[in-house]
Amino acid sequence: MSKQRDYYYIEGKDPADSSKLKYIKREITCDDSFEGELVMLAFPISLMKEISTVLSNFNLRADAEYFYSECKEVVSVPEKHVNEKGQGNLTFQSYFHKFPDSVNSFFDDAIVVIILHPQPGTDAKTRNYNMIGYIHANVIDFKSPDGQVHKGYYYNVLRLSEQTVNGEAIYRRKRIFTSMYSILLDIVTFNDIHYVYATMGRENQAINDALKMNTERNGKYFETFPMSNNTHINLIIGNRNAAKRLVDISKDREALKLYYSKIKEKKDRYVFNQMHSEENFFRMVDRILGSSPSSRIYMLPDAKGNFDAAGMFVNWGDYLHLKLQNPKGIFKAIDSLNITDKILYPTLLVGSKENARLLVKGAAYRYRKEHKVQVTILNAYEGDPYTDWKKSIIQDPFVYFVIHDKPEQYQQMKDYSKNEAGTTRIFIDTPMI
């Protein structure tokens, strides 16, 4: 049965008193079956470093380290690329090395949404709590065909606690997931946002049902798009000769500008192209390269020495390591090799098909030799010109969803994004899936 709950949208510190917060109390309709008290907060990720102030304003234990430990525990909950019947080969856990610095490095303008379960206590100001849910609404902006810039959200790091008591999950089966989406959709309304997207993992009817219920209730629409996560072993795909041809342009501003022009040429018509301006591009580059010592931008010239293929290569090992959980099929063999702690993630690839392929093969060789990175992940999607060579026998199909409330405008953007084959191209890669 639906119920009314309150959450608090925190805008920042109170200008008149830095020990207090400026926030708005919002009432939302929730469908969870949890009977206890919940404290639900949304705040800028910049406040993560001053979380003690946030917690004290809501009479909760104002201990930053305790809060971070709760975050790590929930964020490390396995991300299950399985459907509602448990079908699927891949479930993994993400362990961030530093928190919150590691998550700030990917998106520094996100809104963090958390759900806390306060524990009984005599002193409200020192009340302990369990963290139940954690998610980011990362701010993106993109251009429509008429040149207007739109603000949107990209949801990621959506996790729910798997805490148990006497072997029974105390939060997982309480439909907390639907209440998290109620918060997210209210934030969208509150901030006049009209487009959001995120991944749900493998096609899942339960998540589809939750999306359908929440979007219809809020006068919005949603649709899904398939993606493919392809895992390559660097020992197999790495190419020493290609590695010798790589040119590191990470600090070459003029070369980076040329690289950006090729990104814009290739991806400017994509629906959610957050790299629509050079400023956005360099902001992302400076953030990733500044926080990850081994992440680089490489270029591979063509036969005449001209600028051709290029891409950003993010070493996820600088931020986190992944652990496969109960792997099935070929993923079981991969896990037995103990090679998934460090993963190379190429993104924003441009250039001819052959040179883009050699670029990745060269980077795979170099990262294996120089940084002991054994695995490369390549995402592919409809309209991706590199899908053929990105394919791997180690493949995990998953699904993205888009929520919007401007069907006519959205259709125009989709029509504008179509390639010569008539394929709609929705969004470009981000540094972190």
Single-letter code of the amino acid located at 357: R
State how far Cα 145 lies from the chain centre: 25
**Mean pLDDT computed over 202-216:** 78
8 Å CB contact between 362 and 198: no
Short-list 230, 202, 199, CA closest to 375: 230
The chain-wide mean pLDDT, for the chain, equals 85
The pLDDT of residue 321 is: 58
8 Å CB contact between 258 and 351: no
Question: Which pLDDT tens digit goes with each residue over 103-144?
Answer: 666 667 889 999 999 988 757 667 899 999 999 898 888 888
The whole-angstrom separation of Cα 315 and Cα 3 is: 44
The pLDDT of residue 389 is: 95
The pLDDT of residue 122 is: 59
The pLDDT of residue 87 is: 45
The pLDDT of residue 310 is: 98
**Mean pLDDT computed over 79-93:** 47
Spatial strand order of the sheet with 79-81 comes to: 79-81, 90-96, 320-324
The pLDDT of residue 38 is: 94
Residue written as token pair 């008539």: 422
The pLDDT of residue 90 is: 47
The whole-angstrom separation of Cα 349 and Cα 329 is: 30
8 Å CB contact between 425 and 416: no
The pLDDT of residue 213 is: 83
The pLDDT of residue 83 is: 43
Q: How confident is the model at residue 168 (pLDDT cuts 50, 70, 90)?
A: confident
8 Å CB contact between 129 and 116: yes
Query: Peptide bond before 346: cis, by omega within 30 degrees of 0?
Result: no
Q: In sequence order, what are the beta bridge partners of 232?
A: 376
The number of CA neighbours under 13 Å toward the Cβ of 64 is 9
Q: Check whether 84 has a pLDDT greater than 90.
A: no
Q: Check whether 24 has a pLDDT greater than 90.
A: yes
Q: Check whether 336 has a pLDDT greater than 80.
A: no
The pLDDT of residue 131 is: 92
State how far Cα 105 lies from the chain centre: 12
8 Å CB contact between 326 and 82: no
Q: In sequence order, what are the beta bridge partners of 379?
A: 229
Maximum distance among all Cα pairs of the chain, rounded to whole angstroms: 75
Helix-helix angle 176-190:205-217, to 10 degrees: 40
Residue written as token pair 């063509």: 302
The pLDDT of residue 259 is: 97
Q: How confident is the model at residue 324 (pLDDT cuts 50, 70, 90)?
A: low
Alpha helices in 63-204 (DSSP H): 64-75, 101-106, 176-190
Q: How confident is the model at residue 82 (pLDDT cuts 50, 70, 90)?
A: very low
Q: Could you tell me what percentage of the chain is helix, strand and coil, using 3-state DSSP and rounding each to the nearest 5?
A: 35, 35, 35
Greatest mean pLDDT among 19-33, 89-103, 189-203, 321-335: 19-33
Q: Check whether 89 has a pLDDT greater than 60.
A: no
Alpha helices in 195-351 (DSSP H): 205-217, 234-237, 240-245, 253-267, 278-291, 330-336
Residue written as token pair 């925190």: 10
Spatial CB neighbours of 425, under 8 Å, sequence gap ≥ 6: 267, 269, 270, 271, 381, 382, 383, 417, 418, 419
Greatest mean pLDDT among 111-115, 181-185, 229-233, 382-386: 111-115
* pTM value surpassing 0.75: yes
Percent of the chain past pLDDT 70, that is, above it, reads 84
Q: How confident is the model at residue 171 (pLDDT cuts 50, 70, 90)?
A: confident
Q: How confident is the model at residue 416 (pLDDT cuts 50, 70, 90)?
A: very high
Q: Per mean pLDDT, which range of 8-12, 235-239, 267-271, 367-371 is the poorest?
A: 267-271
Question: Which pLDDT tens digit goes with each residue over 231-288?
Answer: 898 999 999 999 999 999 999 999 999 999 999 998 889 998 888 899 989 998 998 8
